[in-house]
C-alpha cells in the first residue's frame, strides 16, 4: 500500500513525527494518495534526528521513571522504547472490556490502575482480569489469595510475590510480570484496592471526655489513607506528631454499619519534647472517671478505654503522668538552653526531679524528691560545726544560695540557685566527722530527713537579700543528693 518498501517500519523514530497535531489536522479523516504520503514521509525523515534527541532527553531527565516504564535497564534507544509501549498496549487489549486500566510510571516501578469502564458502575460485578495464579498446594499463595479477598471487601493494600503473576491465557501475549518489569526472584507487587478520599468537612478527633459527657480536650487526627471495598472500608488516622495511630474498619450489614476501632501509641523516645507536646497535652487534665473517645464530626464512634473501671483509671493516670513529664522536660530544656530528645528510659527518681524542677521554674515551691542533704564542711570548722549541730538535731536545716542540679539520662542540668529547707533532719555520719577533726581535710556532712518529713525548695531571684558571715561554717555550693528510688520519692 502507498508503494512503501516491504521492510517499512511504521514504528521507526522518523515515522513518529507525522502524528503531531498539525500533521493530524492536515490529514483529518481523509485517506491521502501515495504521492502525498511519500511527501509526508520525506518531511518526517528530515525530522528523525530531532525526534530521537527529544526522546533520549526525556529518558535522561526522568531516568528512574523511564527505567521503570521500559522495565529493562538495557533499553537505550527510541526504537526499543516504542516497542515497549506497543507491548503495554497489546497487554491492555487482552484484558476484560469491563475494566479500564491505565499505566503510570513512578520512581519505584510502573503502576497499573484498574477502574470500571462504566463510571456509573463501581465496582463492577465482573471480577478483575486474572492477574495472579495461586496454586492450591502453596500455603503462602492461599494466604495471599485470602488477603486479596479481604481487600476486595474492605479495601487496603498488600504486597504479593511477583512469581504469582499469571501468564497470558493465550500463551503468546506479554505476561503481567513482563508488563510491569518484574524479573527478580524477590520482586513483589504492591496491590492497592479502593483507595479514595474522605468527604470535605470530615473531622476525626481523639478526645478526653468527662463522666458527664463534656469534652475536656481534643486532638485532631488526620487521614493517612482511606480505602473502600464491596462491604465496607478502612481508614488510617494519625496525629500531627505521629504518636497516635487509629485504625478504623467499617462493615455494612443488614442492621446498619459496624465500626471497629484500634488506637496505638508509639514510643515518645527519640522525639524532642516540643514536637510531641501537642499530642499529649490533652491528658494533662485527665481524671480517673474520664473517657477517651474517638470522635467523628463531634460524635463518639468508639470508647477506647471501655472496660474495667480500674484499668481505665490506670491507663488515664499513666497517660497523664507521661504528659506531665514531657511538659516538665520541655520546661527544663527551655530554661537550660539545652534541647535533647526524650531518653529511652527515665528512672522514677529522675522523673520526680524533672517535675519538681518544673515547679521551681514556674515560681512555685516544690517538694524535693530526696530525703538526704549533704554539706561540705571546711577542715578548720568541723569541731564548731559538730557542737552547733549536735545541740540542735533533730531540727530544721535551712540553706540559701544552694546550687540546684538535676540529672536526666546522661545530661546534668543546672536549675539555678535555690533556698532549701528541711523541716526535721538528723546527722547520719557523726563518727566520720569526729574522726576528721584536726586532719586538715574538708569533710562531707550527711543529713537525712526524719520519717514523715520532707525537703522543700524555692528558686531564689537575683535581687534576693542573702546574708553571709566571714566565719560561715558551710562551704558553697551546697548540694541535694538523690538517694536510690524509694516509694515516697517515686510518687513525688
Over residues 46-72, the pLDDT tens digits come to 777 776 666 655 554 444 444 444 444
Question: Is residue 146 over pLDDT 50?
Answer: yes
29 CB neighbour count, 10 Å cutoff:
4
Question: What's the rounded mean pLDDT across residues 192-197?
Answer: 85
Same domain, 467 and 406: yes
Same domain, 479 and 410: yes
Question: Is residue 89 over pLDDT 90?
Answer: no
Chain segment 205-259, per-residue pLDDT in tens: 999 999 999 999 999 999 999 998 888 899 999 999 999 999 999 998 777 788 8
Q: Which three cell numbers stand for residue 319?
A: 497517660
Question: Is residue 453 over pLDDT 60?
Answer: yes
Residue 337 lies in a domain: no
Same domain, 140 and 236: no
Question: What's the rounded mean pLDDT across residues 250-274?
Answer: 88
Non-local CB neighbours of 76 within 8 Å, separated by 6+ positions: none
- pLDDT band for position 473 (50/70/90)? very low
Chain segment 334-343, per-residue pLDDT in tens: 999 999 999 9
Non-local CB neighbours of 160 within 8 Å, separated by 6+ positions: 132, 144, 148, 188, 189, 191
Same domain, 260 and 310: yes
Give the pLDDT of residue 373. Answer: 84
Percentage helix, strand, coil for the chain under 3-state DSSP, each rounded to 5: 35, 30, 35
Residue with cell 497489546: 90
Contact 477, 401 (CB under 8 A): yes
Same domain, 439 and 313: no
Question: What's the rounded mean pLDDT across residues 184-188?
Answer: 78
Residue 399 lies in a domain: yes
Contact 220, 282 (CB under 8 A): no
Residue 32 lies in a domain: no
Question: Per the confidence metrics, is the pTM higher than 0.85?
Answer: no
CA dist 214 and 198 (Å) reads 27
Angle of CA points 338, 341, 345, to nearest 5°? 120
Same domain, 303 and 369: no
Chain segment 32-50, per-residue pLDDT in tens: 666 666 667 777 777 777 7
* DSSP one-letter string for 473-490: SBPSPPEEE--S--HHHH
Computed over every residue of the chain, the mean pLDDT equals 78
Counted domains in the chain: 3
Question: Is residue 102 over pLDDT 70?
Answer: no
Q: Which three cell numbers stand for residue 284?
A: 494533662
Residue with cell 463518639: 300
Q: Which three cell numbers stand for residue 121?
A: 458502575
**Which whole-number Å values give the CA distances from 376 to 124, 400, 405, 451, 474, in the listed order?**
84, 14, 16, 24, 6
Same domain, 257 and 153: no
Q: Which of 193, 220, 249 is the last residue of a domain?
A: 193
Residue 362 lies in a domain: yes
DSSP 8-state assignment for residue 288: T
Same domain, 403 and 362: yes
Q: Taking Cα atoms as reference points, which of 221, 239, 245, 246 lies closest to residue 276?
A: 239
Residue 37 lies in a domain: no
User: What domain range is 264 assigned to?
Assistant: 204-328
Same domain, 316 and 387: no
CA dist 362 and 375 (Å) reads 27
Higher pLDDT, 146 or 68: 146
Question: Is residue 162 over pLDDT 90?
Answer: no
Amino acid at each position: 500500500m502507498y508503494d512503501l518498501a516491504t521492510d517499512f517500519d511504521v514504528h521507526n523514530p522518523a515515522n513518529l513525527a507525522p502524528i503531531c497535531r498539525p500533521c493530524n489536522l492536515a490529514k483529518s479523516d481523509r485517506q491521502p494518495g501515495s504521492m502525498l504520503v511519500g511527501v509526508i514521509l520525506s518531511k518526517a525523515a528530515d525530522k528523525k534526528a530531532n525526534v530521537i534527541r527529544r526522546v533520549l532527553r526525556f529518558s535522561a531527565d526522568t531516568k528512574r521513571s523511564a527505567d521503570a516504564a521500559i522495565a529493562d535497564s538495557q533499553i537505550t534507544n527510541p526504537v526499543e522504547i516504542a516497542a515497549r509501549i506497543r507491548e503495554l498496549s497489546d497487554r491492555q487489549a487482552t484484558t476484560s472490556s469491563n475494566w479500564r486500566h491505565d499505566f503510570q510510571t513512578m520512581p519505584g516501578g510502573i503502576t497499573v490502575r484498574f477502574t470500571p469502564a462504566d463510571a456509573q458502575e463501581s465496582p463492577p460485578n465482573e471480577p478483575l482480569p486474572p492477574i495472579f495464579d495461586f496454586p492450591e498446594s502453596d500455603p503462602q499463595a492461599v494466604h495471599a489469595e485470602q488477603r486479596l479477598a479481604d481487600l476486595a471487601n474492605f479495601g487496603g493494600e498488600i504486597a504479593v510475590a511477583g512469581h504469582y503473576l499469571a501468564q497470558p491465557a493465550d500463551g503468546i501475549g506479554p505476561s503481567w510480570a513482563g508488563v510491569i518489569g518484574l524479573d527478580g526472584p524477590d520482586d513483589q507487587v504492591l496491590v492497592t484496592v479502593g483507595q479514595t478520599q474522605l468527604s470535605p468537612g470530615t473531622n476525626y478527633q481523639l478526645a478526653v471526655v468527662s463522666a458527664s459527657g463534656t469534652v475536656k480536650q481534643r486532638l485532631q487526627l488526620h487521614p493517612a489513607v482511606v480505602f473502600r471495598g464491596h462491604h465496607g472500608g478502612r481508614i488510617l488516622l494519625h496525629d500531627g506528631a505521629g504518636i497516635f495511630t487509629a485504625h478504623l474498619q467499617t462493615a455494612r450489614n443488614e442492621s446498619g454499619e459496624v465500626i471497629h476501632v484500634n488506637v496505638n501509641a508509639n514510643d515518645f523516645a527519640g522525639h524532642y519534647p516540643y514536637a510531641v507536646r501537642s499530642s499529649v497535652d490533652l491528658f494533662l487534665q485527665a481524671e480517673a472517671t474520664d473517657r477517651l473517645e474517638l470522635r467523628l464530626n463531634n460524635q463518639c464512634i468508639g470508647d477506647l478505654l471501655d472496660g474495667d473501671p480500674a484499668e481505665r483509671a490506670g491507663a488515664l493516670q499513666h497517660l497523664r503522668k507521661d504528659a506531665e513529664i514531657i511538659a516538665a522536660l520541655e520546661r527544663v530544656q527551655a530554661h537550660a538552653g539545652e534541647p535533647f530528645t526524650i531518653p529511652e528510659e527515665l528512672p522514677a527518681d529522675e522523673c520526680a526531679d524533672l517535675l519538681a524542677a518544673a515547679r521551681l521554674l514556674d515560681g512555685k515551691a516544690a517538694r524535693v524528691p530526696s530525703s538526704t542533704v549533704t554539706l561540705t564542711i571546711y577542715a578548720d570548722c568541723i569541731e564548731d560545726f559538730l557542737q552547733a549541730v549536735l545541740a540542735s538535731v533533730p531540727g530544721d536545716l535551712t540553706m540559701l544560695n544552694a546550687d540546684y542540679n538535676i540529672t536526666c539520662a546522661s545530661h546534668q542540668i543546672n536549675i539555678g540557685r535555690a533556698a532549701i529547707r528541711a523541716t526535721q533532719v538528723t546527722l547520719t555520719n557523726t563518727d566520720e566527722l569526729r574522726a576528721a577533726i584536726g586532719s586538715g581535710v574538708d569533710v562531707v556532712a550527711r543529713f537525712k530527713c526524719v520519717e514523715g518529713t520532707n525537703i522543700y525548695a524555692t528558686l531564689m531571684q537575683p535581687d534576693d537579700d542573702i546574708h553571709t558571715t566571714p566565719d560561715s561554717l558551710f562551704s558553697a555550693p551546697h548540694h541535694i543528693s538523690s538517694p536510690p528510688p524509694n516509694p515516697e520519692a517515686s510518687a513525688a
